[in-house]
Structure 1
Amino acid sequence: MKYLKILVKILVALLIICAVAVGIIIKLDYNTTSYLKLKNQPTLQQNSYLIKNVNVIPMTSDTVFRNQMVLIENGIISKVAKHIKNKDIEIIDGQNQFLSPGLIDMHVHVWDKQELGLYLSNGVTAVRNLWGMPFHLRLKEQIENQVIIAPQFFTSSPKLTGKDDLGDDKVQVSSPEEARILVNSYHKRGYDFIKTYAGMTEAEYIAIVEEAEILNIDVVAHPSFNVAYTEQFHPQIATIEHTEDIVQQPLNYKLDTLKLQQIAREMAMRKQAFSPTLTGFYKIFEMLTDPNIENSTQTQYINPLLFEMDSKNQIARWQNEKTQNPSTTKRIKDQHNFHLYAINQLHKQGVTIVSSTDAGIALTAPGFAIHQELNFYKQADLSNFEVLKTSTINPSKVHSQFNNMGRIVEGNLANFNLTIENPLENLNTLSTPVWVMVQGRKIDKNILQEFESKAKNRSNKLISALRWVENLWVEK
């Protein structure tokens, strides 16, 4: 009995020490991300302005409305016209520069708050997070309650897959009944979408789609190998993810242009929207060809725990693959070029394409990746206007939550990028916005630069590890 009491005291002491340590780690993270708090940015409290002398790219058509005025009231576009009477609110001089809708990245994986600043500094005013964890729900609440300044944030559930598709990053579902229970649970907890993954069985997939229809919650599908590819085209499936999965699944790893065209026609006929994530795949080619990629500039903006646990392993994996099979580099480059052709064919068939990067995986840096992704669409022979549609108006067609974004029209949210040049002529100008506005809050260049510098080489491995442990505890 004496030794049992001693053991209990030791366990209690250890629990207290752990609790104190966790509290300290959370407090440190709170302090290091305080620059995102709205109360620390008094200039961001304003969300009503009159912008004058600005060239508006409405994204309703391939045009520019020259020398316009834009009235913003409480974060909403109230009027766009040549002349608007001043309502005694702050005036912003657009200086004959170009106002376009904020960019939307439809496939990201957020690991920390610092990434939110990176998205804003790159002109991204809304993100769709597709690897839901408990901390994302807290983050979403903070953003919606205007505690921190961030892109508009929407998150899927944890990734649902079949019982044989192992891995701590996924939730294994053992039956259709369990799938329905999980869909209900995620819906009640506040996740915006349901995410399905590659090992989902057909029966479980059907159960998820049916339950999602009942609850009116969209499903985002990483295609399952156990369900015919075109059978995953369904009105409840908001988007099908990943161009490489077209190659891996219906094309059976063959770069088959004829079969690709059949898939494109079917996707268009079924009105299935598509999320390409070309950048995430292209990072493999960069890992194969750049011997210094581990020390590249953009790796300094990747979550440090992710970099240690995933990025370095990916680099080693592909370097080893190259050593074992020297033809790997050509194979990956050929597949990337095929991806560009696939985007061209999907676009020609009229498929709604939404810009997506897979940022937050391997070496795909948050924020920066969107500009590489858009340039890939340009290489796929889309016009600048068509490229911009993928990151503005097209996402607004995919989810009801995005309906008031992507166009500069009355009633929409004031999510903007102001650029020196016209992005309809030069897409690269979007990577260096003069200022960004999200829900009517204007973020000047000096603040955007601060957001970027604070995220560079950040030290937050411990808090990231705690979030991962929490995810395993809650979801597994």
Structure 2
Amino acid sequence: MKTAFKKITLLLFVCTLGSSCQPKQHVKEISPTLILISKANVIDVRTGQVRSGQNIYIDSGKIKEISALEIDDLSQYRTVIDAEGQYIIPGMAEMHAHIPQPSTSQERLEDVLFLYLSNGITTIRGMLGHPDHLALRKKVQDKAILGPRIFTSSPSLNGNSVKTEEEAIEKVKAYQKAGYDFLKIHPGIQRNVFDKLVNTANEVGIPFAGHVPVDVGIRHALESKFASIDHVDGFLEGLVPESANVDPASNGFFGYNFTPLADTTKIDELVELSKENKVWIVPTQSLFERWFAPTNVDSLLAEPEMKYMPKSTLENWKRIKLQTLENSGFSVSQWEQFDAIRRSLIKKLQDNGHGILLGSDAPQLFNVPGFSVQHEMQGMARAGMQPLEILQSATINPVIFFDMEDTFGEIKEGMEADLVLLAGNPLDDLKNFTKVAGVVARGTWISNAEIEKRLKDIAERASKN
């Protein structure tokens, strides 16, 4: 064990001719800010292997040492977390999150950030940016506010906000200069404007991600090298044969209207394009199994995590879901076919594409921040993804995406200390992802007791709004 983390008494014997040897003591104290997690089962997110009996030493926000050596005296450490029998994974990333807008109270903003943390989400990628989110990103980074690490998009680039090539050039440059992490693409952008946006983004060095505008189409979107395409947007439309001669704008909810026309033999071609152009996919499958799905509204509202959302929000969610199903020509049989195609796409994009990132689109209809990733993981499993693949989509894949493999995403010495303690092995049962025993967010320890207390307070506040 490294001497920086042990109280070591070093006896230096100074002997000279004709004199006796006299011992001199040198004592190095243990840092008072050191956190020791003892006897943990550590999961390697690259291989799925489990290393048992691991002691993890955390200080100054980083993992300083990992060792399986026996510790003789735990009383010398001020903060000791007994993790015997528990499993530790890296903090997870929610890659399609939404950060509250400025009209939200500061209290509610901090509640939402904590909801993510309470479920082991230590990194979020905000998908609808605002200038205030740049300041929030800095406050979280400086630990002025407790929350997950933030990456934020620009404000929406869509058919209304960028109607001309000149507007595209102006806004891309402005958002890059302001410091946004990436550009958010929404529907409605015309192809010539999109191409100018892409060229400018490449020139100034800012990635772009999000939706596939109808006029752009999935093939051109992939060839344009989106950083990520979210919701598997545009893929189903790309399965419709040209001979069908459809109006692309009549695609409905993410291509739902074209479901009967989809030629699934075209899936492999699109998957290969995504791999060739290194485009990540964020499925947000829970959105299609909870909002646009024949799932009973009252059963969704009865789920335990709904108590963390304001009553007004829940009422709005119910209204929108019912209106969507009533006004979209929804039928259960067509939805089942639609869902089967989506699952096939997700599975093949995982197996043969560039890769999958975990993202649930929270808070969106019936997707409560943090808790929604549990539903997303189950959806990914129903699509055929294995537990290790799902874990990788939330840990190592995001850091590869951000090109930050030397910063976080794994449990290794020198990494930022983002960790989740789980009562069971999530690779044995995905339900173990819900059994959070504690979270470390960039070196800050959040115990299970603190999580439960904060969640109770959040629920009480939500019940009054």
TM range (shorter): 0.7 to 0.9
- Residues 49-448 of structure 1 aligned to structure 2 (within 5 Å): 49-83=35-69, 90-111=79-100, 112-163=109-160, 172-233=161-222, 237-243=226-232, 245-251=234-240, 253-254=258-259, 255-285=262-292, 288-291=295-298, 293-294=300-301, 296-303=303-310, 306-307=313-314, 310-321=316-327, 328-400=331-403, 404-448=407-451
Maintained 8 Å contact 1:288/1:318: no
Per-residue Cα deviation, 1:93-151 (whole angstroms, up to 9, x for no partner): 22231111111110011223211111111111111110112332232222122112111
Distance of aligned partners of 1:90 and 1:454 in 2 relative to their CA distance in 1, 3 Å threshold: closer
Maintained 8 Å contact 1:321/1:328: no
- The secondary structure found in structure 2 opposite 1:113 is helix
Per-residue Cα deviation, 1:11-46 (whole angstroms, up to 9, x for no partner): xxxxxxxxxxxxxxxxxxxxxxxxxxxxxxxxxxx8
Distance of aligned partners of 1:364 and 1:354 in 2 relative to their CA distance in 1, 3 Å threshold: same
Distance of aligned partners of 1:461 and 1:398 in 2 relative to their CA distance in 1, 3 Å threshold: farther
Maintained 8 Å contact 1:280/1:359: no
Partner in structure 2 of residue 4 of structure 1 = none
Scaled by the length of structure 1, what TM-score is found? 0.78
Which structure has more RCO (C-alpha within 8 Å, separation ≥ 6)? 1
CA distance in 2, matches of 1:249, 1:236: 16
Distance of aligned partners of 1:214 and 1:244 in 2 relative to their CA distance in 1, 3 Å threshold: closer
Q: Any gaps of 5 or more consecutive residues in structure 1?
A: 1-45, 164-171, 463-476
Per-residue Cα deviation, 1:223-275 (whole angstroms, up to 9, x for no partner): 11111312212576221111253224554623432112221122122221111
CA distance in 1, matches of 2:50, 2:303: 37
Per-residue Cα deviation, 1:405-445 (whole angstroms, up to 9, x for no partner): 22112222111111111111122111121101110111001
Per-residue Cα deviation, 1:441-469 (whole angstroms, up to 9, x for no partner): 1100111112322332645999xxxxxxx
Distance of aligned partners of 1:238 and 1:285 in 2 relative to their CA distance in 1, 3 Å threshold: closer
Partner in structure 2 of residue 38 of structure 1 = none
Letter in 2 for 1:316: L
CA distance in 1, matches of 2:231, 2:325: 23
More off after superposition, 286-295 vs 53-62:
286-295
CA distance in 2, matches of 1:303, 1:177: 41
**Number of residues of Structure 1 aligned to a counterpart in Structure 2:** 405
Per-residue Cα deviation, 1:44-98 (whole angstroms, up to 9, x for no partner): xx86323221111121312111111222221112222323889966433222311
Distance of aligned partners of 1:350 and 1:249 in 2 relative to their CA distance in 1, 3 Å threshold: closer
CA RMSD, Structure 1 to Structure 2 (Å): 2.6
Letter in 1 for 2:116: Y
Letter in 2 for 1:453: K
Q: Any gaps of 5 or more consecutive residues in structure 2?
A: 1-31, 101-108, 241-254
More off after superposition, 283-292 vs 448-457:
283-292
Letter in 1 for 2:171: L
Maintained 8 Å contact 2:61/2:442: yes
CA distance in 2, matches of 1:184, 1:448: 41
CA distance in 2, matches of 1:117, 1:126: 12
More off after superposition, 345-354 vs 133-142:
133-142
Maintained 8 Å contact 2:34/2:77: no
Distance of aligned partners of 1:385 and 1:156 in 2 relative to their CA distance in 1, 3 Å threshold: same
CA distance in 1, matches of 2:464, 2:222: 39
> Whose helix proportion is higher, 1 or 2?
1
Distance of aligned partners of 1:402 and 1:198 in 2 relative to their CA distance in 1, 3 Å threshold: farther
More off after superposition, 375-384 vs 119-128:
375-384
Letter in 1 for 2:277: R
Distance of aligned partners of 1:289 and 1:330 in 2 relative to their CA distance in 1, 3 Å threshold: farther
Question: In the alignment, which of 454, 458, 465 is matched to residue 455 of structure 1?
Answer: 458
CA distance in 2, matches of 1:457, 1:245: 41
Letter in 2 for 1:272: V
Scaled by the length of structure 2, what TM-score is found? 0.80
CA distance in 1, matches of 2:339, 2:94: 20
